[in-house]
């Protein structure tokens, strides 16, 4: 009871816990815990440099304005391109990570890119296929009803198909509206 | 090579991609033997992580065989079987020099607040990940380590993230002998955190989730008591009643950005992307821990603001501790624990899925179908 000084007693003694649970108390001493204390300067890392060699910069690599220089190593997957690339570049060049605008622009660019890339895919030999790419074909074999029984997240799982199909439905309705106007 | 690629929220497919090249003298190219889908990948899959580009290959939990090494690599050779921590890090920057490997400053141009992570968007550096046949592994002399002969592949795979993270989470909770510990989330991270809490000497461990099959695992694998939060009107009240009104000494939050339990929080965060994450579990942790207690946050959140109940944390005098796990730092001690028979990480693996079928794996993990806890991805049928 927190109204008094004593701590409520435990159901099991350390001896009982040690007997029941493999390894109970093996790391009781904080000194045996590898992340104690959090900061340590005596850990071997395998690094054999003071400062790493610099990876060549094959194109002007975008970077947070909080970096005073380009870090020596970086990912080169999916370089900036197109309209989304321009928005991302602006977000990086203009706003620090402390600014909401930085992140909101990056999120907006993600939406722009998923739309443009989706449209572009229809001009390729491998158009996006929402049926196979969302993996919903696995449903019948994976106990779709039993797996969801009694779960609170089912209430918003119904929104998932809407997130995937919604933009297409909205786009379709808009196209119909425009066509109607043009034909009238 | 074959690689999983992101095609937009809720959509992934397998494509033909160029095999990655050595781009830095300390790079290695690793042929992936096993990879996994992590709860963190769902945040990308759902489109919650800013700067997740179309065509990006996910996957930060993988083991493989060294295929090629750069000119300055000394500690690895072609043919070595390696486990690769999910963190990319240099070993010598200000942060690495202090053991903060997950906070390296030399590997991520896109953000200073975040370190480098394989296959985890451009916000963590723009590296393609390991849900593919091959992957570029920077700083091969620093992160990866040869897999000991006696260690099974799937155990090694879980060392690269889930196990190390759960173990790290229990350490951040500052558990002392006899402490009462609650773990929110019975996914791989929560299960390993609960199991690790006992290693630190916890006196009682209670795991909270709403998925009964995962709570079963928590009982059996983590020797924990369980509570299904969907069966309580208010789980915070239950957390108080379960501890005679005190609250838990330590609470570990192993849920993250897509927490359920409050529809408005979940929908504004996970569906509408108006917050960095849905802090339902984090708020339960803050409210369910005792005054002066510790909350360890392993759940991941996006970089924009989230509606966290900070006032309660302040008034209660809490210690909030958190980080991405510095994985390799956990390894020597974890290997001892596994060798001593204290735990068998692969006990939580439920599914093994060929890379070609990864879209179905993502859907099942996202919708939590078919009793899924940890899916392992097999790039090549061998
Ligand atoms: N800090 C790190 O280094 C690190 C590493 C790996 C994973 N993570 C993060 O840890 C979290 C968990 O990862 P995982 O692989 O176990 O994911 P997971 O998706 O398998 O598990 C999450 C669990 O939380 C449950 N849950 C949802 N809302 C809840 C609530 N309000 N209260 C209690 N439980 C709730 C879900 O039912 C699910 O079982 C993710 O956010 C992931 O990004 C962090
Ligand atoms: Zn992970
Ligand atoms: Zn570093």
Do residues A35 and B329 make contact, with C-beta atoms less than 8 angstroms apart?
Answer: yes
> Which distant-in-sequence residues (6+ apart) come within 8 Å of A63 by Cβ?
A70, A71, A92, B109, B110
* pLDDT tens, residue by residue, B219-256: 999 999 999 999 999 999 999 999 999 999 999 999 99
Tell me, yes or no, whether B59 and B188 share the same domain.
Answer: no
Tell me, yes or no, whether B284 and B354 share the same domain.
Answer: no
**In A29-152, alpha helices (H):** 82-94, 100-121, 130-133
CA B360, B361, B362, B364 torsion-angle sign: positive
Q: Is residue A80 part of a domain?
A: no
The domain in which residue B78 lies consists of 2-161+326-378
Within 6 A (CB) of ligand 1 lie B 38-40, 42-43, 161-162, 165, 184-190, 208-211, 214, 229, 254-257, 259-261, 280-281, 298-300, 324-325
Tell me, yes or no, whether B272 and B371 share the same domain.
Answer: no
Do residues B269 and B258 make contact, with C-beta atoms less than 8 angstroms apart?
Answer: yes
Do residues B52 and B1 make contact, with C-beta atoms less than 8 angstroms apart?
Answer: no
Backbone angles phi, psi at B126, to 5 degrees: 75, 40
**Domain end (from B284, B306, B322):** B322
Tell me, yes or no, whether B357 and B293 share the same domain.
Answer: no
Do residues B241 and B232 make contact, with C-beta atoms less than 8 angstroms apart?
Answer: no
Tell me, yes or no, whether B304 and B189 share the same domain.
Answer: yes
What distance in Å separates residue B284's CA from the closest CA in chain A? Answer: 16
Domains held by chain A: number = 1
B235 C-beta neighbours (distance < 10 Å), count:
24
Do residues B36 and B162 make contact, with C-beta atoms less than 8 angstroms apart?
Answer: yes
- Whole-angstrom distance, CA of residue A62 vs CA of residue A90: 9
Q: Is residue A13 part of a domain?
A: no
CA B210 to ligand 1 center in whole angstroms: 12
Query: What single DSSP character describes residue A161?
Result: H
Tell me, yes or no, whether B193 and B315 share the same domain.
Answer: yes
Read off the pLDDT of each residue in A4-24 and give the average, rounded to a whole number: 96
CA A82 to ligand 1 center in whole angstroms: 35
pLDDT band at A169 (very low <50, low <70, confident <90, very high): confident
Q: Determine the Cα angle at B40 with ends B101 and B19, to 5°.
A: 75
Interface confidence (ipTM) of the complex: 0.96
**Domain end (from B288, B303, B322):** B322
Domains held by chain B: number = 2
Q: Is residue A179 part of a domain?
A: yes
Tell me, yes or no, whether B230 and B346 share the same domain.
Answer: no
pLDDT band at A177 (very low <50, low <70, confident <90, very high): confident
What's the burial of B72, exposed, middle or buried (CB within 10 Å: 0-12/13-18/19+)? middle
- Whole-angstrom distance, CA of residue B46 vs CA of residue A163: 10
Q: Which two tokens stand for residue B170?
A: 């229990």
Query: What single DSSP character describes residue A158?
Result: T
- Whole-angstrom distance, CA of residue A63 vs CA of residue A100: 17
Q: Tokens 């690339």 appear where?
A: A85
Please list every residue in chain B whose beta carbon sits closer than 8 Å to the beta carbon of residue A160: 10, 366-367
Please list every residue in chain B whose beta carbon sits closer than 8 Å to the beta carbon of residue A32: 333
Average pLDDT, chain B: 97
- Whole-angstrom distance, CA of residue A134 vs CA of residue A145: 18
Tell me, yes or no, whether B304 and B240 share the same domain.
Answer: yes
CA B296, B299, B305, B306 torsion-angle sign: negative
Check CB contact under 8 Å for A53 and B26.
Answer: yes
Do residues A54 and B71 make contact, with C-beta atoms less than 8 angstroms apart?
Answer: no
* Three-state secondary-structure class, residue A18: helix
Do residues B354 and B382 make contact, with C-beta atoms less than 8 angstroms apart?
Answer: no
**Model pLDDT, residue B382:** 57
Tell me, yes or no, whether B86 and B48 share the same domain.
Answer: yes
Q: Tokens 């020596």 appear where?
A: A72
Kindly state the percentage of chain A with pLDDT values over 70: 100
Q: Is residue A169 part of a domain?
A: yes
Nearest CA to ligand 1 atom 3: B324
Q: What is the CATH number of the domain that holds B113?
A: 3.90.180.10
Q: Tokens 């897509």 appear where?
A: B258
**Domain end (from B322, B337, B357):** B322
Tell me, yes or no, whether B156 and B7 share the same domain.
Answer: yes
Stretches in chain B below the pLDDT threshold 50: none
Q: What is the CATH number of the domain that holds B231?
A: 3.40.50.720
**Model pLDDT, residue A181:** 84
Q: Is residue A48 part of a domain?
A: no
The domain in which residue A171 lies consists of 130-184
Give the nearest partner residue to A134 out of B11, B141, B172, using CB atoms: B11
What's the burial of A177, exposed, middle or buried (CB within 10 Å: 0-12/13-18/19+)? exposed
CA torsion angle B192 B279 B305 B40 (round to 10): 30
Tell me, yes or no, whether B297 and B190 share the same domain.
Answer: yes
Q: Is residue A112 part of a domain?
A: no
Tell me, yes or no, whether B34 and B152 share the same domain.
Answer: yes
């Amino acid at each position: 009871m927190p109204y008094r000084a004593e701590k409520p007693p435990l159901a099991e003694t350390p001896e009982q816990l040690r007997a029941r649970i493999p390894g109970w108390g093996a790391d009781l001493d904080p000194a045996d815990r590898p992340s104690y204390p959090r900061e340590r300067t005596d850990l071997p890392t395998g690094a054999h440099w003071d400062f790493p060699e610099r990876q060549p910069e094959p194109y002007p690599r975008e970077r947070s304005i909080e970096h005073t220089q380009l870090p020596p190593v970086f990912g080169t997957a999916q370089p900036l391109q197109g309209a989304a690339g321009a928005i991302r570049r602006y977000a990086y060049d203009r706003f620090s990570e402390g600014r909401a605008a930085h992140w909101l622009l990056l999120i907006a660019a993600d939406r722009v890119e998923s739309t443009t890339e989706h449209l572009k895919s229809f001009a390729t030999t491998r158009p996006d296929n929402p049926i196979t790419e969302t993996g919903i074909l696995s449903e019948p074999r994976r106990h779709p009803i039993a797996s969801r029984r009694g779960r609170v997240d089912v209430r918003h799982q119904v929104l998932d198909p809407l997130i995937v199909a919604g933009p297409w439905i909205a786009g379709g309705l808009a196209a119909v509206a425009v066509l109607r106007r043009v034909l009238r | 090579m074959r690689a999983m690629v992101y095609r937009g929220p809720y959509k992934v497919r397998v494509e033909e991609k160029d095999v990655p090249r050595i781009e830095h003298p300390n790079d290695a190219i690793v042929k992936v033997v096993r990879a996994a889908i992590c709860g963190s990948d769902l945040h990308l899959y759902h489109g919650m992580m800013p700067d997740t580009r179309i065509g990006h290959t996910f996957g930060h939990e993988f083991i493989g065989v060294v295929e090629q090494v750069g000119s300055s690599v000394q500690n690895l050779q072609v043919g070595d079987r390696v486990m690769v921590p999910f963190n990319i890090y240099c070993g010598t920057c200000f942060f690495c020099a202090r053991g903060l490997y997950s906070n390296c400053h030399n590997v991520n141009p896109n953000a200073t607040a975040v370190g480098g992570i394989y296959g985890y968007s451009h916000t963590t550096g723009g590296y393609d990940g390991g849900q593919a046949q091959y992957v570029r592994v920077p700083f091969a002399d620093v992160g990866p380590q040869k897999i000991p002969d006696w260690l099974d592949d799937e155990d090694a795979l879980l060392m690269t993230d889930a196990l190390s993270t759960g173990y790290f989470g229990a350490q951040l909770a500052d558990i002392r002998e006899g402490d009462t510990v609650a773990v929110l989330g019975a996914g791989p991270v929560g299960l390993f955190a609960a199991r690790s809490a006992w290693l630190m000497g916890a006196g009682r461990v209670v795991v909270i989730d709403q998925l009964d099959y995962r709570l079963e695992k928590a009982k059996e694998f983590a020797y924990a008591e369980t509570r299904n939060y969907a069966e309580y009107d208010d789980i915070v009240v239950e957390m108080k009643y379960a501890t005679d009104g005190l609250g838990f000494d330590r609470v570990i939050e192993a849920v993250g950005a897509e927490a359920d339990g409050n529809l408005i929080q979940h929908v504004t965060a996970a569906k509408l992307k108006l917050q960095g994450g849905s802090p339902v579990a984090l708020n339960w942790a803050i409210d369910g821990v005792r005054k002066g207690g510790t909350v360890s946050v392993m759940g991941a959140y996006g970089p924009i603001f989230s509606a966290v109940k900070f006032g309660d944390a302040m008034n209660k005098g809490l210690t909030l501790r958190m980080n991405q796990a510095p994985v390799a730092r956990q390894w020597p001690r974890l290997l001892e624990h596994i060798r001593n028979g204290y735990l068998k990480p692969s006990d939580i693996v439920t599914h093994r899925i060929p890379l070609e079928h990864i879209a179905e794996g993502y859907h099942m993990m996202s919708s939590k179908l078919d009793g899924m806890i940890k899916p392992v991805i097999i790039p090549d049928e061998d």
